Amino acid sequence: MRSMVRHAAHALVLALCFLATIPGCASTRGQEHAPDPAMEVVQVLNELVVSYETAMAEGQPAKAREAAEQLLAREPAPWAQFMLAAAWAAEGNRNEAFRVLSVAIESFGRDPVGAGPVAIDYATSLGSADNSSWESLRSDPRFAALVARAKAVAWQPEPLAFDAGPAEQPVRMKRPAVESEPLRTLREAYKLDAVVAGATDDIDRVRRMCHWVHERTSHQGWNGELPSDALGLLRLAEKGGQWRCVEFGIVMAECLNAVGIPARTVGAKVRNVETELFGAGHVFAEAWLDDRQRWVFVDAQMDIVGVGSDGTPMNSVEFRDSLSQPNPPIAYHPALALCLYYFDSNFDAANGKRTSIVLGPVGSKVPTKFQRVHPSPAPDRFTHRLADFYAPPVP
C-alpha cells in the first residue's frame, strides 16, 4: 500500500482484489442455476470502479465522472461521493468538487466506521500533500476548511474488549519443520540465513526479514492469478510482479519459518465485514519469539513490526490497542486499522490437521459472509478469548 496516500482511489483497486474470483455474477448467465442477484450488483459496481480508475489514469476525467455518477446512483455511500469529487476536481470544476466533497465529509462524519476503509482512506488523503487527487483544489481558500472538517470527524481507534481469561480450547500451531524440502529450498534459494545473520535477538531477526520482504516488490491490488507459496511469489517479484497484502503475509510467514522463527499469516476484517462492499480486510503475519515467549505483529507490506515504546513486542490485538493511544508508538494508516476487528488464521495444528481459528471481540458473532457476497466458511474454532488464539506453538 505504498501508493495508498499518493492517489486515494488506489484503495479501491486494493479492495477489488477480493472481488477477482467471485463465483457467479456474469459468469452464471446461461447456466442451469439462476445468478445470485447480490453478486450481479457487486459485479456491476466492480466494473464501474474499474472504468473510473481506468479513465482517471488515462486522463479522461469526464468519463471518470460518468462512472462515478453511476456508482453513486447505485451505491449512495461516502466513498462514491469522494470519487465523484475527485473526478470533478480533475475536470477543473472546483465548485462542483467542493460541493460534493462537503456532502461526502458530512456523510462520512455521521458514521465513520460504517463508511468503511475506502472512505477513511479518502478522508485521510485530503490533508496529504502527496495526494494528486486534490492538487487543483489546494490553493482555494475553501480547501483548508474542508480538511479541518474531515479531521474533526475522522475515525479514531478505540480499544476492543476480549476475554482475558485462561485458555479453554487453545489452538496450538505445529512448529514448522525447518529442514523440510519446501522451507530448505526457500532458505537456500534466497540466502535467508544471510538476511538475519548478525541479529542480536528474535525481534532483530524479524525486523531484518520484514524489511527484506518489504523491499522485494510493491503493493498492487490486482485481479490476476498469483502463486500461493513464497518461492513462487519471490520468483514472480524478480520478474517485476507485484503482490497484494495476502501475498506479503504469505511470503513473510514462510520466510520466517524457513529460518526457524514460527510464523503464521493472519487475516483481519472490519466489524461490518458482512455488509461492507470494498476493502473489508487486510492480511499480515504474526511471529512467535522464543526468547520473549510472545507473538508479535508483522506487516511486511508496510514494513512494520509491532514493538511498543518500551520495547515490548505486541501481537495483533495489542498493536490494535496501541493505535488508540494519544501518541501511538507506530503510525498505521486508519483504513488498515479499521480492519483490525476480527482476526483469523489457519495453520497445521498440534494434532496434525489444518485448523482455522477466528478471534472476535466480546459480543461479536462469527461472520458468515465477506463483503456481502462471499460465503465465509465456519472456522474450526471461534473464540473471544485471547489465550485461545495466542497459545504458543508446540515445542
pTM above 0.95, yes or no: no
Statement: residue 14 has pLDDT above 50:
no
Q: How many helices (H) and strands (E) does the chain have?
A: 16, 9
C-alpha cell at 17: 482484489
Reported confidence tier of residue 373, pLDDT bands at 50, 70, 90: confident
3-class DSSP assignment, residue 357: strand
Reported confidence tier of residue 17, pLDDT bands at 50, 70, 90: very low
* pLDDT cut 90: percent of the chain above it: 78
Statement: residue 145 has pLDDT above 90:
yes
| Predicted pLDDT at 37 | 78
Q: What is the mean pLDDT of residues 259-264?
A: 98
3-class DSSP assignment, residue 136: helix
The dihedral sign for the CA sequence 228, 231, 237, 241: negative
C-alpha cell at 22: 467471485
Reported confidence tier of residue 41, pLDDT bands at 50, 70, 90: confident
Note the Cα 333 to chain centre separation in Å.
10
Q: What is the mean pLDDT of residues 224-247?
A: 93
Statement: residue 38 has pLDDT above 80:
no
Q: Among 11-25, 328-342, 349-363, 381-395, name the one with the lowest average pLDDT.
A: 11-25
Average pLDDT, the chain: 89
Three-point CA angle 22, 28, 29, nearest 5°: 140
First-to-final CA distance of the chain: 35
Amino acid at 173: M
- For 85-143, write each residue's pLDDT tens digit: 999 999 999 999 999 999 999 999 999 999 999 899 899 889 888 888 899 999 999 99
| Predicted pLDDT at 35 | 62
- For 198-209, write each residue's pLDDT tens digit: 999 999 999 999
Q: Among 165-169, 223-227, 356-360, 391-395, name the one with the lowest average pLDDT.
A: 223-227
Domains with residue ranges and CATH for the chain: 10-152 (1.25.40), 181-389 (3.10.620)
CB-based contacts of 273: which residues, under 8 Å, 6+ apart?
280, 281, 341, 342, 367, 369, 370, 371
| Predicted pLDDT at 34 | 54
* pLDDT cut 70: percent of the chain above it: 90
Distance CA 109, CA 2 (A): 26
